[in-house]
């Protein structure tokens, strides 16, 4: 197994797949791709990813891009910690969370890039649009996260990791986050597979 990720280890989607593989205890080679130098647009990389994106996995002769698709594939093919809930309704909800995080909340993703999380950047105050997106995020998480629980579905799932990262964009920037949600994000952040990604060496100035 090879996992192709951005060479600066900043992609939230690469992180999701990295965590998934670690949770499944699948041996893999980490293959950094320098996006700034256009390595993802090379003919050689196009043979692995038709969409020229990271993350991408090569599992033998099988290549697959897009983090959600990769996580589903890993969960179905490999034994180990379940990445998604077994309950069909919970699993559907986990996919709802993942899909929403990847398609909405753009003001947060722009103004609170993962550089804030992984490189400890100090950003400017949130714009009105980003404040509105944050309020939308908090409302959604309050609806998803059961009271007195530190995971969405009673046990960890990959959706918890993805959601914690989105919340931590705000937490790590010093933005005001409801205490219960900040505590949830902090708990999820301490998972060993997550901490391994967080602590990867980064040479970005």
- Domain, as residue range, for 126: 88-193
**pLDDT (tens digit, 0 to 9) for every residue of the chain, 205 residues total?**
999 999 999 999 999 999 999 999 999 999 999 998 999 999 999 999 999 999 999 999 999 999 999 999 999 999 999 999 999 999 999 999 999 999 999 999 999 999 999 998 999 999 999 999 999 999 999 999 999 999 999 999 999 999 999 999 999 999 999 999 999 999 999 999 999 999 999 986 6
| Residue 150: closest CA among 131, 164, 166 | 164
Q: Of 59, 81, 103, at which residue does a domain stop?
A: 81
| Residue 11: closest CA among 63, 60, 75, 54 | 54
| Residue 155: closest CA among 85, 78, 66 | 85
Are 105 and 188 members of one domain?
Answer: yes
Whole-structure pTM value: 0.95
Are 97 and 173 members of one domain?
Answer: yes
Q: Of 22, 50, 81, at which residue does a domain stop?
A: 81
CATH code: domain of residue 180: 1.20.1050.10
Are 59 and 105 members of one domain?
Answer: no
Residue pair 33/54 in contact by the 8 Å Cβ criterion: yes
Edge-to-edge strand list for the sheet holding 2-6: 29-33, 2-6, 56-59, 62-65
């Amino acid at each position: 197994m090879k996992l192709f990720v951005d060479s600066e280890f900043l992609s939230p989607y690469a992180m999701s797949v990295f965590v998934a593989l670690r949770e499944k205890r699948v041996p893999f080679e980490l293959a950094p791709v320098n996006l700034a130098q256009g390595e993802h647009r090379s003919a050689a990389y196009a043979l692995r990813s038709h969409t020229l994106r990271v993350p991408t996995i090569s599992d033998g002769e099988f290549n697959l891009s897009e983090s959600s698709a990769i996580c589903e594939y890993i969960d179905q093919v490999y034994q180990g910690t379940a990445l998604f809930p077994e309950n069909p309704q919970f699993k559907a909800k986990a996919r709802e969370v993942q899909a929403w995080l990847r398609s909405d909340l753009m003001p947060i993703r722009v103004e609170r890039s993962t550089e804030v999380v992984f490189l400890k950047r100090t950003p400017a105050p949130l714009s009105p649009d980003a404040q509105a997106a944050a309020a939308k995020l908090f409302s959604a998480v309050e609806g998803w996260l059961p009271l007195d629980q530190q995971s969405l579905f009673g046990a960890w799932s990959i959706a918890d990791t993805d959601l914690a990262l989105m919340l931590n964009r705000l937490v790590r920037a010093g933005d005001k986050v409801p205490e219960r949600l900040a505590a949830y994000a902090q708990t999820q952040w301490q998972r060993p597979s997550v901490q391994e990604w967080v602590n990867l060496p980064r040479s970005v100035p």
